[in-house]
């Protein structure tokens, strides 16, 4: 039986791929639970520097919830349970300790757009569109994606995108700040992701974790005083880390050579 999610480690980058191309990588409850388990299991891997989440094929990143699977969800308690299950999967991504990049190999629609918005960054293939199209099914966002969209593009633009169910072109999504980069047609998505992550991978893993932790604290609404305290604590730990002294010694040695 084909695995619904593929996981591959490339040096210090974890690649997670939704593997249901025949279903447009639709998000069934088993897929969502699998995503949650993968991200929760990798939290303690302190050698990781980034995660790349993508979909199999070239048509869809994720087409949203799997309507065939979710057709049995018919009561209010069942709907609440399903939404909480999906939200816990996306929260595992939001709370992951290093940057998570959504590599949109194809369109992200509905719940797929929520999944992309839960990641820290979004890099799209040249034809990959994104749309919060839940309104077309007379439902609303459910997995935290509406909240993420408001944070990413502002409340007024988010309201327009939600109410219109517009499928954004890559260029428009980039202009709105929903995409962080769009691949050049000649180079492809993998090259764009590699280029985007290149400066990240020059940083020590614990430093990347520091920056992600500070951003997570800001997103959850910690006070300015709490954020300052968190920043100072992280700085002190990073200052005494051997990686800092190794980098500092290189700078000092280079300065001596130039004198």
Do residues 131 and 113 touch, judged by C-beta distance below 8 A? yes
Do residues 176 and 86 share a domain? yes
Q: Domain limits at 249?
A: 205-258
What are the per-10-residue average pLDDT scores of the chain (259 residues)?
A: 88 97 94 97 96 96 90 94 96 98 98 98 97 96 97 98 98 98 88 97 97 96 96 96 90 67
Q: Give the end of a domain, one of 168, 183, 202.
A: 202
Do residues 36 and 156 share a domain? yes
What pLDDT sits at residue 258? 62
Do residues 117 and 173 share a domain? yes
Residue 193 region, left (φ>0) first, then alpha (ψ -120 to 50), else beta? alpha
Do residues 38 and 92 share a domain? yes
Do residues 247 and 121 share a domain? no
Do residues 174 and 253 share a domain? no
Q: Provide the domain count of the chain.
A: 2
Backbone angles phi, psi at 251, to 5 degrees: -65, -45
How far does CA 153 lie from the centroid of its chain?
16
Do residues 226 and 182 share a domain? no
CATH of the domain at 54: 3.90.226.10
What pLDDT sits at residue 253? 75
Do residues 111 and 145 share a domain? yes
CA 73 to CA 127: how far, in whole Å?
A: 33
What pLDDT sits at residue 249? 86
What pLDDT sits at residue 67? 86
What pLDDT sits at residue 187? 75
Do residues 220 and 140 share a domain? no
Do residues 113 and 211 share a domain? no
What pLDDT sits at residue 255? 62
In what order do the strands lie in the sheet containing 167-168? Answer: 60-62, 107-109, 130-131, 167-168
Do residues 109 and 20 share a domain? yes
> For residue 241, what are the contacts with CB-CB under 8 A and spacing of at least 6?
204, 206
What pLDDT sits at residue 248? 87
């Amino acid at each position: 039986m084909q695995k619904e999610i593929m996981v591959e480690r490339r040096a210090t980058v974890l690649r997670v791929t939704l593997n249901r191309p025949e279903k447009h990588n639709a998000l069934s409850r088993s897929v969502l639970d699998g995503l949650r388990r993968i991200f929760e299991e990798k939290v303690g891997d302190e050698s990781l520097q980034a995660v790349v989440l993508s979909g199999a094929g070239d048509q869809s990143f994720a087409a949203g919830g799997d309507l065939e699977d979710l057709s049995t969800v018919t009561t209010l308690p069942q709907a609440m349970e399903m939404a909480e299950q999906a939200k816990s999967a996306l929260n595992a991504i939001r709370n992951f300790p290093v940057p998570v990049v959504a590599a949109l190999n194809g369109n992200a629609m509905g719940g797929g757009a929520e999944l992309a918005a839960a990641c820290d960054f979004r890099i799209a293939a040249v034809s990959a569109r994104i749309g919060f199209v839940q309104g077309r099914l007379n439902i609303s966002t459910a997995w935290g994606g509406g909240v993420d969209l408001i944070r990413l593009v502002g409340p007024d633009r988010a309201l327009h995108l939600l109410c219109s169910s517009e499928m954004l072109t890559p260029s428009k999504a980039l202009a709105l700040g929903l995409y962080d980069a769009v691949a050049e047609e000649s180079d492809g998505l993998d090259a764009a992701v590699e280029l985007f992550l290149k400066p990240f991978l020059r940083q020590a893993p614990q430093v990347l974790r520091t920056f992600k932790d500070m951003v997570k604290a800001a997103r959850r609404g910690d006070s300015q005083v709490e954020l300052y305290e968190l920043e100072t604590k992280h700085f002190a730990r990073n200052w005494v880390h051997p990686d800092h002294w190794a980098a500092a010694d290189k700078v000092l040695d280079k300065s001596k050579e130039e004198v």
